[in-house]
Chain A
């Protein structure tokens, strides 16, 4: 479980987070909505420990991430993963090296030994197949489109099966078809890994498609948090605006997609 208590963060003179409190239940997908520049990505970076708060605490399974640093922090976040807005693939490595990076660096968590090359290659191939990028192992990130980069970055996460996955604007800047593929992959990943997921987005369509609960950030705090149906009934101009921005409820499409696959 992820617990955030009284989180404050200021950059220069701008206060981004102003005493935020938030609980994320184990195994759920929480979607955090809000306009750009309101501190959604900053929140994710706090949760994974790469940004430190000015005040407040973040607990991941009762370990206070915000109070630890160095080797202790790296040990505590080993079971977490984050999908960055631009993918953040390593430019100097090909897709296979990118996807296998975590396995190469950390080895088997149980034995501490390096994985055999064959096993790594198999797991990379499986992860790439899952995201629809089979056969792209030798391609460089610069050879991939934006959507392919995001899918390769998702494969880099899936391959080490993290128990907490953070998604930073997963569908931003993508065409509707690729965005839908990413949404489906998030749902599929969630089902396979049974991970706790936090998705940060300003795309209401994506939020309704992947989220178990939805939250809205306003003025550095969580303004509303609820399951999709009650969330849509909240009298808030921003929620109404976001809801009106989509022509069709994506959950019906998800049911249809499930019907097709089942």
Chain B
């Protein structure tokens, strides 16, 4: 094969790969639309939604608590050490609360949920796909998007913002414990700056991010599960891909949401 043909072929391969990426986006969009449509036409049973609410929400409480709490501890310790020699140690509590509410709470909760719930969902759906269980559902005239995906989407969308709030609370509590019992701050010094400098916008930012991240985790991980092929190895690949893609999307969306919400807040005075 001469160099020119090789170059030509590599262009074709690149174009084909891009087209495949576009096909995947199309399938992903179609899956979301079909799930929403199927849910509106005939909502999934309460039992299925409840089961997922428990799995996504209640069962994730310990891991979200540990993440939020330890982040609060570290954040308070670092802030205190950095700020104390500048005479700014009194804003430690405020820094912890602000950072937890707007950035760390939503992002770290989303990361933990991706690892705990997203990966499990992708592996479960992927296994169902490669063992023809999803085909079996279809042959029994059951729409898999309504039966399998809708309860997961609903649970993820409802529970992620709530878990984010819980994580923020745990972070502030962790920061409080180390600031008061290790660095000797008074409880008042820790909490006093918060009411003045933390506003509704900060809470809206955290909850909105939680909501969007929740939808992203569920849709990406479920999609990757539903299109799995290639047996057990394929399930492993899909699960890894789903986690990596979800992490990248969370980080990128976090930046975009931060900019968008701040522009809306600054320019239009919303929130």
A residues whose Cβ falls under 8 Å from a Cβ of B: 45, 48-50, 70-71, 74-75, 77-78, 80-82, 84-86, 88-91, 101-102, 105-106
Contacts and interface: CB of A to CB of B under 8 A. Distances in A.
B41 A105 contact: no
A45 B141 contact: no
Contact of A77 (B34, B132, B133, B141): B141
A81 B139 CA distance: 6
Given A71-B41, A91-B127, A86 B140 contact: no
Contacts of B135: 45, 50, 82, 84, 88
B133 A88 contact: yes
Contacts of B132: 84-86, 88
A37 B51 CA distance: 40
A48 B143 CA distance: 14
Contacts of A101: 140
Contact of A88 (B34, B41, B131): B131
A80 B138 CA distance: 11
Contacts of A49: 138
A45 B139 CA distance: 9
Contacts of A78: 141
A82 B127 contact: no
A74 B137 CA distance: 10
Contacts of A89: 133, 136
Which residue among B34, B41, B132 has the maximum number of chain A CB atoms within 10 Å of its CB? B132
Interface residues of B, number: 15
A106 B45 CA distance: 13
Interface in B127-181: 127-128, 131-133, 135-136, 138-143
Where chain B touches its partner, the secondary structure class is helix
B141 A106 contact: yes
B139 A80 contact: yes
Nearest to A81: B139
A88 B141 contact: no
A105 B147 CA distance: 10
B133 A82 contact: no
Across chains A and B, which 7 residue pairs bring their CB atoms closest together, nearest first?
Answer: A88-B136, A74-B141, A88-B132, A82-B139, A78-B141, A50-B138, A84-B132
A84 B136 contact: yes
B142 A105 contact: yes
Given A81-B139, A90-B128, A105-B142, 15 more contacts: A45-B135, A50-B135, A50-B139, A70-B143, A71-B41, A74-B143, A77-B139, A80-B139, A81-B140, A82-B135, A84-B132, A85-B132, A88-B131, A90-B136, A91-B127
A93 to B, nearest CB: 10
Contacts of A85: 132
Q: Which of B131, B136, B142, B143 has the most CB of A within 10 A?
A: B136
A75 B140 CA distance: 10
Contacts of A75: 141
A87 to B, nearest CB: 9
Contacts of B133: 88-91
B152 to A, nearest CB: 13
The CB with the most chain A CB atoms within 10 A, among B127, B133, B142, is that of B133
15 contacts: A74-B141, A74-B143, A77-B139, A78-B141, A82-B135, A82-B139, A84-B135, A84-B136, A86-B131, A88-B132, A89-B136, A90-B133, A91-B131, A91-B133, A101-B140
Contacts of A86: 131-132
